[in-house]
Amino acid sequence: MKIVICDDEHEVLEKVAQICKKSFLSKVTIYAFPSAESLLKNLSSDMGAIDLFILDIEMPGKSGLWLKHELELNWYESSIIYLTSHEELIHEAFGRNVIGFVDKVKFYKDDDILISKLKIFEKSLENKSIISIRDEDGSFYIQKDRIILIKSEHVYTIVEYSTGKMNGGYLESDKKLLRKTLKNWEVDLNNDFLRISKSVIVNMDYISRMGREIILKNGACLSIPRANYNKCEDAYFEFCKRKMKWN
């Protein structure tokens, strides 16, 4: 497991690194940086995939919010935990890969505040499990958390999934036609997925905006049937509560 920590306070960098090493049974490699600029300058593809970024929101120079945007250009699938004393910035920092926020003032006195978020991160790894589908074209494998939406097409479904790349501010996606019903898909998915109509299942992680229509991070716009709107709104509200839990 590879974790990157970015905070302008040396004491925080050391404390977070120690907690991460103690919290995971698997071998952990830690990369620590005192600023957003130094992180981007030294972060290299040679490091391989980064599993988790732990970022301070407010730092001298470029902020953690700016850094999140830059990281999404090349490290889109990595999870993020924010350290902050500024609760008012949480809404702006919220995003698909942001799995938690840690109050730095409380963190100085209580390690468990970060540990609880690391447990959420471990649980989120379940979404990276591979789904295997076999049809007449052979086997198709996909990580659960890369699925953006699934649409029914008679006895088939069209799976739209993330390529992990951004283009013009939108997430690039690809599609695959598979012989599998929405009902069977629902058995394999978890409560991060929402069936908004008879023919569409959406991964709520990819919702950019929700009203009478859903705007997804790949730019797709989906209409919610009037009869389903309240159910969908409630489900998305509960999803956001889970994602934005504040300690």
- Give the chain's end-to-end CA distance (angstroms, integer): 25
C-alpha dist (Å) from residue 193 to 133, 182, 190: 18, 12, 6
**Can you give the pLDDT at residue 246?**
45
**Can you give the pLDDT at residue 207?**
93
pLDDT exceeds cutoff 80 at 244 = no
Q: Render pLDDT for 89-118 as a digit per residue (tens, 0 to 9).
A: 566 566 667 888 888 888 888 988 899 888
Q: Render pLDDT for 169-211 as a digit per residue (tens, 0 to 9).
A: 888 999 999 989 999 999 888 888 999 999 999 999 899 999 8
Which comes out higher in pLDDT, residue 184 or 77? 184
Q: Render pLDDT for 229-242 as a digit per residue (tens, 0 to 9).
A: 999 999 999 988 77
Which comes out higher in pLDDT, residue 24 or 197? 197
pLDDT exceeds cutoff 60 at 27 = yes
Instruction: Give the architecture-level CATH label for domain 2-126.
Output: 3-Layer(aba) Sandwich (3.40)
The amino acid present at 110, given as its one-letter code, is D
Q: What percent of the chain has pLDDT over 90?
A: 40
Q: Per the confidence metrics, is the pTM higher than 0.85?
A: no
Q: How far apart are CA 190 and CA 187, in angstroms?
A: 8
Of 46, 49, 109, the residue nearest 79 (C-alpha) = 49
Q: How far apart are CA 137 and CA 113, in angstroms?
A: 48
pLDDT exceeds cutoff 80 at 60 = yes
Ramachandran assignment for 138, one of left (phi > 0), alpha (psi -120 to 50 degrees), beta (any other): left
**What DSSP state is assigned to residue 113?**
H
CATH for 129-242 (3.40.50.2300, 1.20.1440.120, 3.40.50.2000, 2.40.50.1020): 2.40.50.1020
Q: Render pLDDT for 137-166 as a digit per residue (tens, 0 to 9).
A: 677 888 888 899 999 988 899 999 998 788
C-alpha dist (Å) from residue 60 to 6, 9, 35, 56, 187: 12, 11, 7, 10, 47
Lowest mean pLDDT among 46-50, 71-75, 178-182: 71-75
pLDDT exceeds cutoff 90 at 30 = yes
Q: What is the location of CATH 3.40.50.2300 in the chain? A: 2-126
pLDDT exceeds cutoff 80 at 247 = no
Q: What is the mean pLDDT of the chain?
A: 85
Q: Is 116 helix (H, G, I), strand (E, B) or coil?
A: helix
Which structure tokens are listed for 66? 């700016």
Q: What is the location of CATH 2.40.50.1020 in the chain? A: 129-242
**Can you give the pLDDT at residue 58?**
86
